[in-house]
Homo-oligomer: A and B are copies of this chain.
Amino acid sequence: MKQNIKVAVDAIVFGYSNNQLMVLLIRRKYGEQKGQWALPGGFVKDDEGLDTAVVRELQEEAGISVSFLEQLYTFGDQVDRDPRFRVISVAYFALVNPSRLVLKADTDADDAQWFPVQELPVLAFDHADIIRMAVARLQSKLKYQPIGFDLLPEQFLFSDLEQLYATILNQDIDRRNFRKKILSLGVVEETTQKVQQQSGRPAMLFRFNKRKYQKLQKEGISFEIKFA
């Protein structure tokens, strides 16, 4: 069986800080694309699964572990995506919550850094396209799956959640209807703690009940969220 195609995995890791959606990028250390920014990723080992490979690469290149991970798409229609040789790349979509947002640059990367999605540098290969697709996936997923909580700390303000939706979906949200809708899903609980921001009325902290969500999900309940 003669075939000479290499298999790589790449990860689009989203984070959220300072009311901005961020993507994790790595500066390439070797080869033609040296110095350019690219998605974290690398070649799959012969004896490891695709999913394992992504987790390993993220650990190696940025010292990061994610809170959500799923396959996005496999890029391999263009034979010359990679100028070195034929590479197909299985792209993964990942989210990290802020507590693990700290990076450790390591062997494969000159540098690992978070970039606002709105201000990306020039990217290697077809990675700009891949990020575009990932953003679209995030936006659509946000509407039918409670995925935003993976981008927030364990306890958060309702205004944070609202801001996150507004930022990622790039639209205004009515605070009152949003709150009503989210609470009606029955998976967000009020804690007993209040927090004072700057001025104004102090806000309650909330928490996402993942266990309850999974239970309801098994019962076939949907979580669609629609906005004006």
A residues apposed to B, CB below 8 Å: 1, 3-7, 43-52, 71, 73-74, 76-79, 85-86, 88, 90
Contact = CB atoms under 8 A, between A and B. Distances in A.
A155 B51 CA distance: 45
A76 B46 CA distance: 11
B3 A88 contact: no
Contacts of A78: 49
A7 B4 contact: no
Contact of A47 (B7, B71, B73, B79): B79
A122 B205 CA distance: 53
Among A46, A74, A85, chain B packs the most CB atoms within 10 A around the CB of A74
Contacts of A49: 76-79
A73 B45 CA distance: 20
A113 to B, nearest CB: 26
A48 B76 CA distance: 9
Nearest to A9: B76
A3 B77 contact: no
A85 to B, nearest CB: 8
A5 B44 contact: yes
A105 B76 CA distance: 28
A5 B7 contact: yes
B3 A86 contact: no
12 contacts: A1-B6, A3-B44, A7-B7, A7-B76, A46-B86, A49-B77, A49-B78, A50-B76, A50-B77, A50-B88, A51-B77, A76-B90
A46 B4 contact: yes
A127 to B, nearest CB: 18
B88 A7 contact: yes
A77 B73 CA distance: 15
Given A3-B46, A44-B76, A71-B74, 9 more contacts: A3-B6, A3-B7, A3-B43, A47-B79, A49-B76, A50-B76, A50-B77, A50-B88, A71-B73
A74 B47 contact: no
